[in-house]
Structure 1
Amino acid sequence: MQFVDEATIHVHAGNGGNGCVSFRREKFIPFGGPDGGDGAAGGSVWLVADEGLNTLVDFRHQRSFRAERGGNGMGRQMAGKSGADTVVRVPVGTVVMNVETDELIGDLIEHGQRLLVAQGGRGGQGNIHFKSSTNRAPRKATPGTPGEERELRLELKVLADVGMLGFPNAGKSTFIRAVSAATPKVADYPFTTLQPHLGVVRIETDKSFVIADIPGLIEGAAEGAGLGIQFLKHVSRTRLLLHMVDIAPLDGETDPVEQVRTIERELARFDPALLERERWLVFNKADLVPEEERTKLAKALVRKLKWKRPWYLVSALARENTWPICLDIQRFFDEQKRAAAERAAEAQAR
């Protein structure tokens, strides 16, 4: 089952330019000797992580990338022009694999990080390099070497800025429908979502974030039970987790507090660092509780959980109180970005 965005691309670095066979010819200098210049190196292919990209969808349309060939050498010992590199932008979080050998080439985890995936060919030598006391007029030059050529598999493990935790049927798909244009399947039975769905939540013209609706967790997910292990691998890189809880389970037996504890145990088993990740509690299906009892019930659950982080009471189906969460999420990301910029400025000042 596919739980990461994938694409296969072909990269071809530029070939090196050929060396030149040339002899100096000037008036009054009949035997000027060799002056053939060297060929230039071909361009290389680089992948660069760009935080402005969220998916690998662009590679469905363009899958081949070629760098420029190096220029040939010329007379008068003039070297050729170096081939231009080709830079391919990919989302932050892209893992790069060699299709032929299945080896890991690199993992682009920071904005601006560069990865060389195909080295340009070397330029050939002109005949000036082959002159000697016994061969004063060499007619020999070497060709440029070919650039590297590879088939690459790109895997994006960071599909979203926000990952949604929760038991099956907690209302995650309904929530993402309410706040974005995504249309994941919604039904009244568990495991409706069998593959990830992404939704772009647009706050303003230039402000948005990506939220992922992914299969729910069950007890034992860290050991591979249900669909949870793939999800746990995915959320290891999201910046914020929304922990969604059904505040009024239909069976009347499932305790919301125990649901939260169960998922916390699975997070701890898979990666204890996930418990330290910013995580907000969202009590869903408030419309199933009488209006005068909703807030009282939510506060009681918060007290039992001893919850110190932000929490919300919403009805995703009725789209009640869903937008304030989105505004708070955007503010959280803006503050993170501002703090990172300040740290970078301080580091540069030192």
Structure 2
Amino acid sequence: MKFVDEAYIDIAAGDGGNGCVSFRHEKYKEFGGPNGGDGGRGGHVFAVADSNLNTLVDFRYARRHEAKRGEHGMGSDMFGAAGADITLRVPVGTIFSDAETGEVLYELLTPGEVVTIAKGGDGGFGNMRFKSAINRAPRQKTPGWPGERKSLKLELKVLADVGLLGMPNAGKSTLIAAVSNARPKIADYPFTTLHPNLGVVRVGPEQSFVIADIPGLIEGASEGAGLGHLFLRHLQRTRLLLHVVDMAPFDETVDPVAQAKAIVGELKKYDAALHDKPRWLVLNKLDMVPAEERAARVKDFVKRFKWKGPVFEISALTREGCEPLIKTIFQHVQAEQRAENTPVEVDQRFVGDAPADIDPRDPRFAGDDA
């Protein structure tokens, strides 16, 4: 299935039901008074994050979503029933934004998280609401309020722990196929990968992480050249970036250092925060380099690239060097997860009223007049 990461939809919450004008008609009660009920509220539109979904493909074929309107009020003090709500199930990590302004409205990052994306209109008042001492037989009523209507853009950012980036034909698809359960299309020509591929890497029993293969970047990607710019946002939530470099390009005139620098430049142009993420260098296709030349070529690349971070020498095709890379990645991901889940320690001295041993002039206890 093609990876769908964007969709445009129109949603409409239900309108409220109209109020009713009615009077009580009972035997021997000549002036029974008003008994027109209120209208029911319109149905709401909810969105829930479903961990079983991983694309927005369903919203490509169903773009209009409407909740039911509330029933009208009736006589005999009967209020209208509320309209039925509808719930849109979306993948975890979906962002809802206004299709016209681009303003981000909601972001669902937790499985089971629910948000109200459009509220149903309130029901109108029946004439029993307008009864008073000087208005014994009111004939006023109000119509139901309209429900919210919105045009939304849905955007899904891949929730992966590790993201692969690099030039086309750097060997990213081969690497993700070698270390995970993903089976991307692999060929000996650029731009084989046309959409992101996700793979689960099993390190051991109940030990795994998710890796994402992003279509190759080229120079000018941040301005829209090539395919990779469409998917750069998928790298924004990864914990780690692996910069895969082809150390044995088919064209001998191509300089791997120049290509690597171009990728780093595109990252910085697209998003400075993405550029500052932890990034490791993975030198691939070393099986195609003569054994006696490997050390010198790697040393020359690192020196000219002015790289001071972690460097891994691998061959994705033969899996040489992949095992140490996987284990090191898993250790890094675990450390990141522990850091995220570490509870913040609260200084108990500053919980509740200030104890006697705390100086009340401390600015942390100062009020608005401080």
Using the size of structure 1 for normalisation, the TM-score is 0.75
Amino acid at match of 1:215: G
Amino acid at match of 2:41: A
Tell me, in whole angstroms, the C-alpha distance in 2 between the residues paired with 1:344 and 1:111. Answer: 21
Counterpart check, 1:44 vs 2:15:
no
Contact 1:23 1:36 in 2 (8 A): yes
Long gaps (5+) in structure 1: none
What does the per-residue CA deviation read over 1:285-324, in whole Å, with 9 as the maximum and x for residues that have no partner?
A: 1221345765675466446655444332222222344455
- In structure 2, the partner of 1:341 is 341
Matched residue SS, 2:144:
coil
Tell me, in whole angstroms, the C-alpha distance in 1 between the residues paired with 2:62 and 2:259. Answer: 45
Tell me, in whole angstroms, the C-alpha distance in 2 between the residues paired with 1:26 and 1:332. Answer: 79
Amino acid at match of 1:214: P
- In structure 2, the partner of 1:198 is 197
Distance 1:346 1:301, change over 3 A: farther
Distance 1:346 1:255, change over 3 A: farther
Aligned CA RMSD, in angstroms, stands at 4.1
Distance 1:32 1:52, change over 3 A: same
The correspondence of residues 198-277 of structure 1 with structure 2, limited to 5 A, is 198-203=197-202, 208-218=209-219, 220-227=220-227, 229-232=229-232, 235-277=235-277
- In structure 2, the partner of 1:183 is 184
Distance 1:233 1:60, change over 3 A: closer
Contact 2:3 2:55 in 1 (8 A): no
Contact 1:44 1:120 in 2 (8 A): yes
Q: Displacement, 1:39?
A: 2.2
What does the per-residue CA deviation read over 1:46-72, in whole Å, with 9 as the maximum and x for residues that have no partner?
A: 335567754213435655544354355
The correspondence of residues 115-154 of structure 1 with structure 2, limited to 5 A, is 116-131=116-131, 135-150=135-150, 152-154=152-154
- In structure 1, the partner of 2:33 is 33
Matched residue SS, 2:182:
coil
Distance 1:320 1:23, change over 3 A: farther
Q: Displacement, 1:143?
A: 3.8
Contact 2:221 2:228 in 1 (8 A): yes
Matched residue SS, 2:342:
helix
Tell me, in whole angstroms, the C-alpha distance in 1 between the residues paired with 2:82 and 2:171. Answer: 57
Identity across aligned pairs (percent)?
A: 48
- In structure 1, the partner of 2:281 is 281
Tell me, in whole angstroms, the C-alpha distance in 1 between the residues paired with 2:272 and 2:212. Answer: 22
Distance 1:296 1:214, change over 3 A: same
Long gaps (5+) in structure 2: 352-370
Matched residue SS, 1:209:
strand
- In structure 1, the partner of 2:104 is 106
Tell me, in whole angstroms, the C-alpha distance in 2 between the residues paired with 1:173 and 1:67. Answer: 43
Counterpart check, 1:13 vs 2:2:
no
Q: Which moved more, 1:243-252 or 1:62-71?
A: 62-71
Tell me, in whole angstroms, the C-alpha distance in 1 between the residues paired with 2:129 and 2:321. Answer: 76
Tell me, in whole angstroms, the C-alpha distance in 2 between the residues paired with 1:30 and 1:328. Answer: 88
Using the size of structure 2 for normalisation, the TM-score is 0.72
Contact 2:21 2:139 in 1 (8 A): yes
